[in-house]
Structure 1
Amino acid sequence: MEGSFRVDLAVINSRLHGYEIKSFSDNLDRLPSQQLTYSKIFDRMTLVADERHVAKAVEIVPQWWGLISSRTTKGVTVLNEIWPSRQNLDIDPYALSQLLWRDEALDALRQRGLDRGVRTKPRKVIWQALAACFTLEEIRTVIRQKLAGRKNWRRQAYS
């Protein structure tokens, strides 16, 4: 999963809510794979799709995803909620842990005295330790804190 896709918009508050946007000029070729990935990490997910994609999207996204249809006429875009998002009950703690950089995940383990034996290990091992030692709610809390504290993260992600 690591680095497979980047959601178009993520809202991070008490929960993680992702928004995937498919415009008129997009296609839905990647949506099945995106759906599988996003369904492992987001508490809620909403697809905002041009009206030409809605019928096909209904066949792809699970019912807990929200669905919003968009139509642009004469430069004005109108959004119509087809159904709201609901709580995802199948979060994968390991996949969720992958939102953290190696040092962030290691720091979370270090704060609990759980970093022994993993300090020099690759990030996948550190993510596994985090997923094994923390509850899902604890992982969510760490992610909210670490993401909120990032500075210049886009620059670092591409360097």
Structure 2
Amino acid sequence: MNDPDIRALLYPLLQSGVYVDELPTGTTRADVVHITPAFMHGYEVKGDGDTLQRVGSQLPCYARAYDFVTFVVTEKHLAKLLPQLPEWVGVLVATEQELREHRPACYNATVERAAVAGLLRLEEVKQFLLGYGLHHLPVLRRRDVAKLLQTSHSIPLSALAQFARERLIARMPQRLENRAVRKAERQARPARKTKRKKRTTTRKKSPQRVAKRT
């Protein structure tokens, strides 16, 4: 099974809220993120054609940002994947007909403020921080804001996470509209003509006559 087949089985299971494909998360992109008013659940999809080489870099990014994390894989990957995942990470196994739950995702207690803020636009994060009486925000860059969130204990993670969920959900109609526009533009483009490769014919060189020495 490949990635689109697995996603087609996953989407109907994501009840309430919205889901976002390819959401930038730290240094990677989460394949699917299910966002509701109460939680964010990141999903990483591994089809038959994928490898597990990036799990070691993907998982820490998801663990710092999402309340729940689940890997959705084919049977091919299961045995090699499980030793790489902590017990709180959920695992779904994809078959041709359904997604079978190998183990459920448990609540993630390692979420960090800076990582949650990283899911938002910088201006949105500054808007949130204004409510906590912080000054000089307009001149701060993203890395400065991230450092501030890492070191300040006066900003509750629960409030920031709720703000992030609200903003991401509110943004979804615009995402869908943009997606529809891009799809219409692609369909309106004329089909590209495939260039025929010119055949190159090489003349056979006639064997040179060896001059007889006299």
Give the TM-score of the pair, scaled to structure 1: 0.85
Code of the residue aligned with 2:73 in structure 1: it is A
Among 112, 116, 120, which residue is 1:96 paired with?
116
Among 122, 125, 129, which residue is 1:105 paired with?
125
CA distance in 1, matches of 2:175, 2:140: 23
What is the Cα deviation at residue 129 of structure 1? Answer: 3.1
Residues 1:134 and 2:155 aligned together: yes
Q: Does structure 2 conserve the Cα–Cα contact (< 8 Å) formed by 1:20 and 1:48?
A: yes
Hey, what does 1:58 align to over in structure 2? 82
What is the Cα deviation at residue 127 of structure 1? Answer: 3.1
Secondary structure at the aligned position of 2:161 is classed as helix
What is the Cα deviation at residue 153 of structure 1? Answer: 5.2
Hey, what does 1:25 align to over in structure 2? 49
What is the Cα deviation at residue 111 of structure 1? Answer: 3.1
Hey, what does 1:79 align to over in structure 2? 99
The change in CA–CA distance for 1:5 and 1:145 in structure 2 (over 3 A counts) is same
Which shows bigger deviation, 142-151 or 81-90? 142-151
Q: Does structure 2 conserve the Cα–Cα contact (< 8 Å) formed by 1:105 and 1:127?
A: no
Q: Which runs of structure 1 show a deviation greater than 6 angstroms over 4 or more consecutive aligned residues?
A: none
Among 91, 108, 117, which residue is 2:136 paired with?
117
CA distance in 2, matches of 1:3, 1:40: 9
Secondary structure at the aligned position of 2:30 is classed as coil
What is the Cα deviation at residue 138 of structure 1? Answer: 0.9
Identity %: 28
Secondary structure at the aligned position of 1:39 is classed as helix
Secondary structure at the aligned position of 1:6 is classed as strand
Q: How many residues align?
A: 150
Deviations 1:66-86 (A, max 9, x none): 1111123xxxx3321111000
Secondary structure at the aligned position of 1:8 is classed as strand
Deviations 1:10-61 (A, max 9, x none): 1111011111111111111111110111111111111110100000110111
Residues 1:10 and 2:33 aligned together: yes
Give the TM-score of the pair, scaled to structure 2: 0.64
Secondary structure at the aligned position of 1:7 is classed as strand
Q: Does structure 2 conserve the Cα–Cα contact (< 8 Å) formed by 1:69 and 1:80?
A: yes
The change in CA–CA distance for 1:137 and 1:149 in structure 2 (over 3 A counts) is same
Please, which runs of 5 or more residues in structure 2 have no aligned partner? 1-23, 179-214
Which shows bigger deviation, 31-40 or 127-136? 127-136
